[in-house]
Amino acid sequence: MFSDAADLFRSAAAKGTELSCLVVHETNYTEQFAVVPVIRNLQCQAVIVIGPALRHNHSEPSAEFWQEHGIPHEKRTKWTEYYRSLPFVDRLRLLYICVSANWMINQQALDITDVIESTLQYGLSDQQQEKERELTDRREYSIFHDGNAGQGHLLELIKRGEKNELIKQLAKMTNIDYISEVNSKRSHLRNVKNLAIGGVTLSSHMATQGGVYEELSSTLCGLHVKHIEELTDLAAVEAVVFAAIVDFAERVSQCRNNNVSKPVYRCKEYIYLHLFEEMTMQQMSDVSGLNSEYLSQLFKKETGLTLMNYIQRERIEEAKKLLDHSGDTITSISERLTFYDQSHFVKVFKKHAGVTPKQYRNRKRSR
């Protein structure tokens, strides 16, 4: 990572230029050093660095290490040779080395607990600075500016599925012009993304409480977060998080407009989670806690469809999405959705959609 080996020691020494007590410093690449300030007249006059050593006795870095640091295959041999050349020194031994070095250099008697405390305080000082910066950013870049009461009201609107009222409140509470203006001064995109991700996660939880399937809420949350992470513009992040919040509220509304009893709800959730698997009446009975005959009657009464017809309809709706958004063949789609064969799939698809899968796909593409 360095053109000159001495640069590695300088990077470690830089950690000790403002120290009043020695610390253990560990790099992102698992090298550890004892960093000992040379104290004269109560001032740090120099820094002595002892290391590097490895804290863990590994013959070579793990597969996760290579992946995490993006080290290409052609360079891994040299990295492995380097790591094998380093001595293994467990943390306790390194702490005693620190104590001995400090006595020799500063004639100051310390215990290993002093070194641990000094190391923790040094690390926490950076974290404390980061926390203070983040608190400032949260106040300056907050997506919503009505405090906890305003946020709580928004979350309740999501939970109740009140999409239209939610949009009105978002329009009042947003601050797009302000964020754009600030962005021209300095960028805190990472902090705004963190706030956005937190907002999406909270919205996901409220949607689940509002009746959206937990698996669906969780999956949608992951997709929205992935989208946010890919963005490079503050205004775009805000637009995406608002769209996500409204999306959750709309899905709650759809659930609430389709009120069913708990046994039927459990069946519908099970069907959603296992749509690409074979499902039997006995499985539905086990899930709902009702016998098959009574469950069939209840499901038909509350949904207007028999269980098997409902499963077929949900599979056709999923098939439409695959036809619209994937390049999968019709045969592949029918197999994934567990239809007996393609002709059976085509027959059921036409029954529910009014057209064949091929006609449906061609119609969408011709628009």
pLDDT digits (tens, 9 = 90+) for 220-255: 888 888 888 888 776 677 777 888 888 888 888 877
| Number of neighbouring beta carbons within 10 Å of residue 155 | 20
Distances (CA, A) of 148 to 51, 153, 179: 49, 8, 20
Residue 145 pLDDT greater than 70, yes or no: no
- Segment 154-164 shows an average pLDDT of 83
pLDDT at 290: 92
Residue 88 pLDDT greater than 70, yes or no: yes
pLDDT at 187: 47
What predicted TM-score, i.e. pTM, was given to this entire model?
0.46
Amino acid letter, 227 = H
Return the higher-pLDDT residue of 163 and 291. Answer: 291
- Whether the link from the prior residue into 87 is cis, omega within 30° of 0, is no
As a whole number of angstroms, the distance between CA 268 and CA 333 comes to: 21
- What's the pLDDT band for 141 if we cut at 50, 70, 90? very low
Strand 23-26 to 43-54 pairing: unpaired
Residue 153 pLDDT greater than 50, yes or no: yes
Beta-sheet strand order (sheet of 43-54)? 23-26, 31-40, 43-54
pLDDT at 262: 83
Residue 256 pLDDT greater than 50, yes or no: yes
Contact by Cβ (8 Å): 35, 22: yes
- Segment 135-145 shows an average pLDDT of 48
pLDDT at 347: 93
